[in-house]
Amino acid sequence: MDIPTLPGVTARTIATERLTTRVLFTGPEDGVPVLFLHGNLSSATWWEETMLGLPPGYRGIAPDQRGYGEADPAAKIRAPLGLADLAEDAMALLDTLGIDRAHVVTNSLGGSVGWRILRSHPERLLSLVQVAPGSPYGYGGTKDVAGAPCYDDFAGSGAGLVNSEMVKEIAAGNRSADSPFTARSVLRSLIVKPPLILEREDAIVESMLAIHLGEQAYPGDSAPSLNWPFVAPGEWGPNNALSPKYVGDVAEIVAASPKPPILWIRGSHDLIISDKAMTDAGTLGAMGLIPGWPGEEVFPSQPMIAQTRAVLERYAGAGGSFQEVVMEGVGHVPFLERLEEFNQHLHPWLA
């Protein structure tokens, strides 16, 4: 990947005991550390404007996570570990940089990594900022606020649900918008709220195309199922690691000790993370886009927002705290869509 960084952003290749990858930096080396974790189909590039906008005295740090951008392509995500690979990568990066505790700011899949860090290493968190995070119960295949699976084999989640035409367009390096399945078209139609065109769209698209592809990368492998939509999670790659089959016990989030404060920011028009997500099998089945849908009682849309709120309320009831912010008229990446408004929530929180 050869994506120029914005002025004021420094890119370095960092080797930890777990992963060699590109890491972006802003601010003074002795500043209060803010670690940024990007989402699926993206890279550290997505955080550059947010990092540059940090108040004086803060150190922005954003790695390309395992499976993305300039991370070592030999390092794979083992799905049965959930997202432990990425969470431990993040902690190893802090260790290598000599950082004990940091604010951690996440988006989407990065938010699912954030839940994992909260479970395993809460003492490392000054605070956790979850921007449109995946549900604590994982992505796909659950039907109620308590995260009950639609099927015992978790059919309807994992890599088998990723659109194969989109993967083909990414593999071909298609930078155009001549198909609804190119990275640029997906960015414009599903990730940001239309009709917005990002000022730095070309760099964002390049970072999307830099995702690592394959059965052990993106989208990952899958397993056949007798249950609709007839695919279950495999054992490799980020999309399988996001499956409720592997995500782990949500009770560990509630029981985390110590309990860092959590800021939850989301867009009102998010099509990726919502109670009727446009990439959820239940939503697509109800629309007739996946044939044979068994109906609302068997496989509804996953109530992702309701699940997250319920877990955070349990977290608060157990002695933690959280704040929910909804940015109106915004899609899946509020920090790219309306940076100034996003910073009005982020900066006071960090202070």
What pLDDT score does 3 carry? 78
pLDDT in tens, 49-105: 999 999 999 999 999 999 999 999 999 999 999 999 999 999 999 999 999 999 999
User: Does some domain include residue 310?
Assistant: yes
Q: Answer for the pair 218, 52: CB distance below 8 angstroms, yes or no.
A: no
Give 40: exposed, middle or buried? Use CB within 10 Å, 0-12, 13-18, 19+: buried
Domain limits at 127? 10-147+247-350
Please compute the mean of the pLDDT values over residues 310-332 and round it to a whole number: 98
Is 143 within a domain? yes
User: For 130-157, what is the mean pLDDT?
Assistant: 98
Number of structural domains in the chain:
1
Cα 218 from Cα 227, distance rounded (Å): 23
Task: Establish if 176 belongs to a structural domain.
Answer: no
157 pLDDT more than 70: yes
> Do 105 and 131 touch, CB atoms closer than 8 A?
yes
Does residue 168 have a pLDDT over 60?
A: yes
Please report the pLDDT score of residue 108 as a whole number: 98
Which tokens in the block code for residue 132?
A: 């449109």
CA distance 215 to 131: 28
> Looking at residue 292, what is its pLDDT?
97
d(CA 132, CA 143): 19
Mean pLDDT of 226-239: 98
pLDDT tier at 4 (50, 70, 90 boundaries)? confident
Residue 188 lies in a domain: no
Is residue 28 domain-resident? Answer: yes
Q: What is the CATH number of the domain that holds 30?
A: 3.40.50.1820
Question: What mean pLDDT, rounded, does the chain reach?
Answer: 97
The answer, yes or no, to whether residue 1 has pLDDT greater than 80, is: no
Residue 314: pLDDT above 60?
yes
Quote the CA–CA distance of 286 and 299 in Å, as a whole number: 9
